[in-house]
Amino acid sequence: MSLPRFFLAPLPAAENALVPLDAEAARHLKALRLKPGAALELVLGDQTWRADLAKLDRGRATARLVAPLHEDREPPVALQACLPLPAQLSLFDEWLPPLVELGITLIQPVVYRRSEFDAAKTAARMERWARLIQSACEQSHRSRLPELRPPMPFASLLTWEAPQRWVAYELATGQANPPWRPEALAFTSGPEGGITDEEFVALCGAGWQPVSLGRSILRAVTTPVALLGAVQYQLGGGRSAQVPFGGLMPEKSCPDDCGR
């Protein structure tokens, strides 16, 4: 059974040092019914430590650092999710835990034409999204927290820099899926209603490559997780090969000037 893991702010660390845990961690430890002496794992910035629970009392907890853990559970390449802001912001809540578990390293919300963007409502959700990311990192025993950036307009995708840039698109393009290369990857997909023809043409013109995830049309909330799962399958195999996305495209066609 894996040990409870908690992410804390970076601080000087040494064996036997006492580290205060926040109130959320204390509540979690109490729910687990752990007692002083129970083993824990702490992530202090970029350092991972084995620790013991030293004290748990009245919503406060303290851990004692035992020894550094020389491990790295992060993907060997940067995985950047340029996620569309959906009309229902609760869909973003659904995206985050599985994407974090699958090793995403950067999360960039994007305002597509079919997004219903409200700056105030979105800003109010950012703190919640940060908590969801941390919780998913702790549950999946990640070594580092992914970066969550503020929303950006669609036009910024046209100048996004990454060695590989993929756009999941539901219409046939006549192109095979791009081959996987073991280097940084950015990917994007559309909100409810999909990417508009004009947006897709612009992305192709800016060097984004369309990928198919099979014959069926996936929901906006399904697409990023399915794509990242296929990438992690390749990373798990430790080899460079074409990502097995499923091959055949739906019997539709893309805009005439989509960059074929």
Q: Which two tokens stand for residue 260?
A: 């074929």
Q: Are residues 33 and 61 in the same domain?
A: yes
CA-wise closest residue to 15 among 47, 60, 51: 51
Please indicate, yes or no, if residue 146 is contained in any of the structural domains.
Answer: yes
Q: Are residues 233 and 146 in the same domain?
A: yes
Q: What is the CATH number of the domain that holds 135?
A: 3.40.1280.10
Handedness of CA 209, 213, 218, 224 (dihedral sign): negative
Give the domain extent around 34: 5-68
The answer for residues whose C-beta is within 8 angstroms of residue 114's C-beta and 6 or more apart is 84, 87, 190, 191, 192, 193, 194, 195, 196
Distance between CA atoms of 214 and 171, rounded to whole angstroms?
11
Per-residue pLDDT 10s for the chain (260 aa) are 588 999 998 888 889 999 999 888 898 898 888 899 999 999 998 889 999 999 998 778 999 999 999 888 899 999 999 999 988 888 889 899 999 999 999 999 999 999 989 999 999 999 999 999 999 999 999 999 999 999 999 999 999 999 999 999 877 667 788 998 999 999 999 998 889 999 999 999 999 999 988 878 888 889 999 999 999 998 886 544 443 433 333 333 344 444 33
Q: What is the pLDDT of residue 67?
A: 94
Distance between CA atoms of 77 and 184, rounded to whole angstroms?
5
* Contact of 122 with 162, CB cutoff 8 Å: no
Q: Are residues 171 and 215 in the same domain?
A: yes
Q: What is the pLDDT of residue 253?
A: 38
Please indicate, yes or no, if residue 102 is contained in any of the structural domains.
Answer: yes
Q: What is the pLDDT of residue 242?
A: 41
Please report where in the chains the tokens 């014959």 appear, as a residue.
215
The H-or-E segment that residue 165 falls in is strand 164-168
Q: Which two tokens stand for residue 238?
A: 């430790």
Number of domains in the chain: 2
